[in-house]
Amino acid sequence: MAKNEVVETSEAQIAVHWQEEKYVYPSKKFIEQANIKDETIYERFALNNFPECYTEYADLLHWYKKWDTILDTSDAPCWKWFAGGKINACYNCVDRHLEKNKNKTAIHFVPEPENERVQHITYQELYVRVNEVAALLRDFTGLKAGDTVTLHLPMTAELPITMLACARLGVIHSQVFGGFSGRACADRIVDSKSKVLITIDGYYRGGKLIDHKQNADIAVDLAKKDGQKVDKVLIWQRYPGKNSVPTPMIEGLDYFVNDLLKNYRGKKVDPVPMPAEAPLFLMYTSGTTGKPKGCQHSTGGYLAYVTGTSKYIQDIHPEDVYWCMADIGWITGHSYIVYGPLSLCASTVIYEGVPTYPDAGRAWRIAEELNVNIFHTAPTLIRALRKIDPDLPKKYNHHFKHMTTVGEPIEPEVWRWYHEVVGKNEAVIVDTWWQTETGGFLCSTVPGVKPMKPGSAGPGVPGIHPIIYDELGNEIKAGEGRAGNICIRNPWPGAFQTIWGDRDRYVSTYYAKYCKDKNSKDWRDWPYLAGDAAMEAEDGYYRILGRIDDVINVSGHRLGTKEIESAALTVMEVAEAAVVPVSDEIKGVVPDLYISLKPGYEPTDELAMKISAKICETIGKIAKPRRVWLVSDMPKTRSGKIMRRVLGALSNKKDVGDVSTLANPEIVDEIKRVTS
């Protein structure tokens, strides 16, 4: 095989390169009230003030003991921020607000059924509930600082309450997205070595009360088979005191949290002062292999970074009502529903269900009722709402000062609709580019300082210094009009510390490619490889094109193509599986799955459905392929590698290019017939 022959296909390769757009300026009214109003922020966070600049974020927090070293690089590239410092994340998000703001709403929990009351949980009530749960975790399960615990919770107030209770004790929480299957939860229990699982009996989605308890049974069973015994399963109840789902409790294993809590009424637990570099949580994400990786996030650095960026980029003030529609099971929810907003004493909205249930006006009714003034969502939802009824938001009386888009590139025309119709030309928009690994924002405009540019994330946020390299490590400069691999030159406090239990994978995936000296302790030698293709315009604004690896973002949910392929390969009849990204009008990108069968099996619709169902069971519904194409063989190189590039071109109805070097070029026409 020729050395630079492209075999794979990636999001970046199917990306549409849209035109550079004109600036859109924030209103005077926004700027007047903004937390950051002038350009000097960029000077304060310039590289020549690195790493000292980040004390500005750390100083937003309460520390039991201040740090000795701002950035300890002795174990490069595992950076230690604020080393020697002692801090508690729960104290910062709850206790410290009580003196002045105990009666302010911390969490507005909005149940999906519209006839159920919104629950307004004050900081005082949050404090009481978090303490009781912390007491239960400590005294009933025996969890202590440094232990891990898996949470498999949906979007109810019990999720942040449980997270904060863990943080209070220094217990490392690993929240698994509620929509993931029992199998996916089991894998994460095993990898994190959790002995306790915290879940809920049921929750509402799309008008149905989902039986979530059955996932816990599957997870515990499969984890045990894979060598990790779960001793206790704690089960919240959607309606306290009532059994909402048919799946029975397992004697000696399952416990209702609400029953246990009766023994901990009014109990107080002192927050445990944790070393700044102690892990706060794990967040599993997809990579280029079938095995998800546990991104390990720190306590002090992470909290400083999400607090600082929530203040400067999200422009959160304590009096704001802030609604981020992400799921707390993803990093966006951890950083910008829970830890960032609560650390700043804002009121954060948690909505249980489907954003368009029972109709596309739901979001705007919630925003009206709660006086939401900061709104945060992903392009997928914006596209869907625009398609359902582009004029609908005009009929509602919500008013946002600030809106965020995150997770995928947003098309300029979709951006404009968001601005004009959802934001009523009043709100600023920040297009925030970042990742599970990065803890917080990497690129975005500072909303009161820099103009917006539709379709472009913006420059690095203060303190983040991006650089684009070509494959050979040459810098691609601003305005060159070429795309390359976007990297960050410098460490930052929100960055993950390592992959849980797999430092080698951490180094090789994120730092090896452009490392200048593998023995160096100097951060300048270790640029962070984000795994996205990007282009830098002349003005220093970055446009993100998509992943350069085997990861795809479906509706802003990150999936590894290898994860889907390995699930398909567990179906007995399947010989080979290949997933390629396909552009989709609403979801951005969706997976297409190509399958070749073992000899003797017939391609049937039933078999295609069986494979699709297996993927949902193994990963979750979000991974369901758009189509399962059963083909007689895959296009292959002479060395036997599947040419995903060709499949990607076929699925995206693009030119397949030169296929003469394939081992089996005749297959291309055959697949074309099947897929057209």
**Which is nearer to ligand PRX, 85 or 546 (by Cβ)?**
546
Q: What gap in Å lies between CA 539 and CA 24, rounded to an integer? A: 14
**Which is nearer to ligand PRX, 274 or 552 (by Cβ)?**
552
Task: Check: CB of residue 520 under 8 Å from CB of residue 77.
Answer: no
Q: Is the dihedral of CA 669, 671, 672, 673 positive or negative?
A: positive
The 542-547 sheet, strands edge to edge = 475-476, 466-469, 484-488, 528-536, 542-547
**Which is nearer to ligand PRX, 111 or 493 (by Cβ)?**
493
**Which is nearer to ligand PRX, 374 or 544 (by Cβ)?**
544
| CA 526 from centre of chain | 24
| CA 199 from centre of chain | 20
- 3 state SS of 2: coil
Nearest Cα residue to 59 out of 310, 274, 307, 335: 307
Q: Is the dihedral of CA 528, 530, 531, 536 positive or negative?
A: negative
Q: Output the CA angle 295-286-334, nearest 5 degrees.
A: 50
Burial class (CB in 10 A: 0-12, 13-18, 19+), 514: middle
Residue type, 258: N
**Which is nearer to ligand PRX, 150 or 445 (by Cβ)?**
445
173, containing H or E segment: strand 172-175
Plot region of 551 (φ>0 → left; ψ -120 to 50 → alpha; else → beta): beta
Q: What gap in Å lies between CA 485 and CA 546, rounded to an integer? A: 10
User: Cβ 413 to ligand PRX, closest distance in Å?
Assistant: 16
User: Cβ 371 to ligand PRX, closest distance in Å?
Assistant: 26
User: Cβ 332 to ligand PRX, closest distance in Å?
Assistant: 5
User: Cβ 529 to ligand PRX, closest distance in Å?
Assistant: 11
User: Cβ 90 to ligand PRX, closest distance in Å?
Assistant: 24
Q: Which residue has the tokens 């925030």?
A: 432
3-state DSSP helix/strand/coil percent for the chain, to nearest 5? 30, 25, 45
Task: Check: CB of residue 461 under 8 Å from CB of residue 406.
Answer: no
Q: CA neighbours within 13 Å on the CB side: how many for 32?
A: 3
User: Cβ 267 to ligand PRX, closest distance in Å?
Assistant: 36
**Which is nearer to ligand PRX, 367 or 530 (by Cβ)?**
530
- 3 state SS of 347: strand
User: Cβ 445 to ligand PRX, closest distance in Å?
Assistant: 11
User: Cβ 507 to ligand PRX, closest distance in Å?
Assistant: 19
- The b/e string for 145-182 (b: 16+ C-beta within 10 A; e otherwise) is eebbbbbbbbbbbbbbbbbbbbbbbbbbbbbbbbbbbb
Burial class (CB in 10 A: 0-12, 13-18, 19+), 639: exposed
User: Cβ 436 to ligand PRX, closest distance in Å?
Assistant: 3
Residue type, 604: T
Which residues sit opposite 591 in a β-bridge?
581
**Which is nearer to ligand PRX, 308 or 635 (by Cβ)?**
308
User: Cβ 563 to ligand PRX, closest distance in Å?
Assistant: 13
User: Cβ 303 to ligand PRX, closest distance in Å?
Assistant: 17
**Which is nearer to ligand PRX, 228 or 456 (by Cβ)?**
456
Cα–Cα distance list, 663 to 3, 105, 190, 207, 321 (Å): 16, 64, 41, 51, 59
User: Cβ 380 to ligand PRX, closest distance in Å?
Assistant: 11
Which residues sit opposite 428 in a β-bridge?
402
User: Residue 164 contacts by C-beta under 8 Å, 6 or more apart in sequence?
Assistant: 89, 90, 93, 94, 126, 130, 338, 342
User: Cβ 410 to ligand PRX, closest distance in Å?
Assistant: 7
**Which is nearer to ligand PRX, 353 or 407 (by Cβ)?**
407
**Which is nearer to ligand PRX, 132 or 549 (by Cβ)?**
549
**Which is nearer to ligand PRX, 13 or 436 (by Cβ)?**
436
**Which is nearer to ligand PRX, 171 or 457 (by Cβ)?**
457
**Which residues contribute to the site for ligand PRX (CB under 6 A)?**
285, 330-332, 406-409, 431-436, 457, 530-532, 544, 546-547, 553, 558
Q: Is the dihedral of CA 98, 103, 104, 108 positive or negative?
A: positive
User: Cβ 589 to ligand PRX, closest distance in Å?
Assistant: 10
User: Residue 355 contacts by C-beta under 8 Å, 6 or more apart in sequence?
Assistant: 325, 362, 363, 377, 381, 385
**Which is nearer to ligand PRX, 463 or 546 (by Cβ)?**
546
**Which is nearer to ligand PRX, 73 or 309 (by Cβ)?**
309
Tokens describing residue 475: 């810098």
**Which is nearer to ligand PRX, 15 or 367 (by Cβ)?**
15
